[in-house]
Amino acid sequence: MKQVRSILAVLALIVVMGVMLLGCAGGNKDENTAGAESGTKAGSSGSGNKTGSSSGAPESNSSEESATRSYTDYKGHKVVIPVAPKRVIFAGETTGDLIELGIQPVGIFGGTALKGRLYEHELTQAEDIGFPINLEKVTSLNPDFIIVGDTDPQAYENLVKIAPTIMLDTFAALDKRITELGDLFGKKQEAADWLKAYDTKAAAMWKQLHETVLKPGETASVFTYYPGDRLFVMARAGLPQLLYGKGGFKATAPIQKILDAGDGFKTISLETIEQVAGDHIFILGPVADEAKQSTEDLLKNPIWKSLPAVKKGHVYSLDILKSDSDAYTRKWLLEELPKMLSK
């Protein structure tokens, strides 16, 4: 019996020692994991990424959401950005691009000016960050990624202190913008599919218009007034992106120079409008009352009435808020432009 008891005692001792060893191994694993996570956060902080949550929003532990990558924007800023951004602020003229790719920003500039835009009811969670941008408001939204169309260096330096920030060329062609956004948000296939569908529809629209309304080589120009009696001809910004796209109108020589210079628009005098005006003229109805009055005065002016396009009735009016170059508005314009030209 003593021998049996001795054997049992030895077995019990072995079991107890095994459990203790397992416990120690588990403790070491937890310590190593915590150390790795701490090291990752410290590394991210050193690269300029936002790692904390000033508003108390929950942090995700998923590897995908915490992963980052290096990105260089079109102005040469090399930034470490999240692979899967969740709280995006977009401060640019082409918010509809994000909507078409299923991206809901938490903040946009000029949010109170959304009324009248085609996508005003599509933004379910976006808050107004002001224009100029209110840095306190931006901080309060706890963004993990900021995209700005403004190229002001000081504004950029202020924003990059809050979260990874890149500059996006919102005057770039639609296909370039959508492709870049698809890359930034992990939606390359969705972006490619959207562009394919859009290009097919746009080609069909222009084909129909050339068969029924337009003549080969016809030109177009887009004008609008801003407060201060300032007359602008539009180039890279807004409606001209559609009009001067593949299969569309030609730009007049003065407008082509503005396009070649990479400018979105340029102020002109009423005395030079004849040199800039095309075979078809689009007038964008402004928002401000002062600019509306300037537009009314233009339409009564003898110089305006003497333009060939005006004499032929090739003048079309469009609300400036519905003339943007963003993807959401562009889809609408593919339906609307044939109606305008057929009147």
pLDDT of amino acid 116: 84
pLDDT in tens, 40-51: 322 333 333 333
Where do the domains of the chain lie? Answer: 63-170, 215-341
Q: What does the CA dihedral 175, 177, 178, 182 come to, rounded to 10 degrees?
A: 130
User: Which CATH superfamily groups domain 215-341?
Assistant: Nitrogenase molybdenum iron protein domain (3.40.50.1980)
pLDDT of amino acid 131: 86
Q: Which residue has the tokens 């599919």?
A: 193
**Which amino acid is present at 336?**
E
Task: Report the alpha-carbon distance of residue 244 to residue 159 in Å, rounded.
Answer: 34
Q: Which residue has the tokens 């870049």?
A: 180
pLDDT of amino acid 124: 76
Task: Report the alpha-carbon distance of residue 262 to residue 117 in Å, rounded.
Answer: 26
SS (H, E, C) 1-48: CHHHHHHHHHHHHHHHHHHHHHHHHHHHHHHHHHHHHHHHHHHHHHCC
How many separate helices (H) and strands (E) can be counted in the chain?
Answer: 14, 13
SS (H, E, C) 303-340: HHHCCHHHHCCCEEEEEHHHCCCCHHHHHHHHHHHHHH
pLDDT in tens, 315-337: 999 999 999 999 999 999 999 99
pLDDT of amino acid 114: 75
63-170, CATH topology level? Rossmann fold (3.40.50)
**Which amino acid is present at 232?**
F
63-170 and 215-341: identical CATH topology:
yes
pLDDT of amino acid 73: 97
* Contact status, residue 247 vs residue 253, Cβ threshold 8 Å: no
pLDDT of amino acid 215: 95
Q: Is 176 left (phi over 0), alpha (psi -120 to 50) or beta?
A: alpha
In order, the DSSP letters of 131-200 are TTT-HHHHHHT--SEEEE----HHHHHHHHTTS-EEE--TTS-HHHHHHHHHHHTT-HHHHHHHHHHHHH
pLDDT of amino acid 65: 58
Task: Report the alpha-carbon distance of residue 207 to residue 204 in Å, rounded.
Answer: 5
* Contact status, residue 225 vs residue 294, Cβ threshold 8 Å: yes
pLDDT of amino acid 113: 61
Segments in the chain below pLDDT 50: 1-62
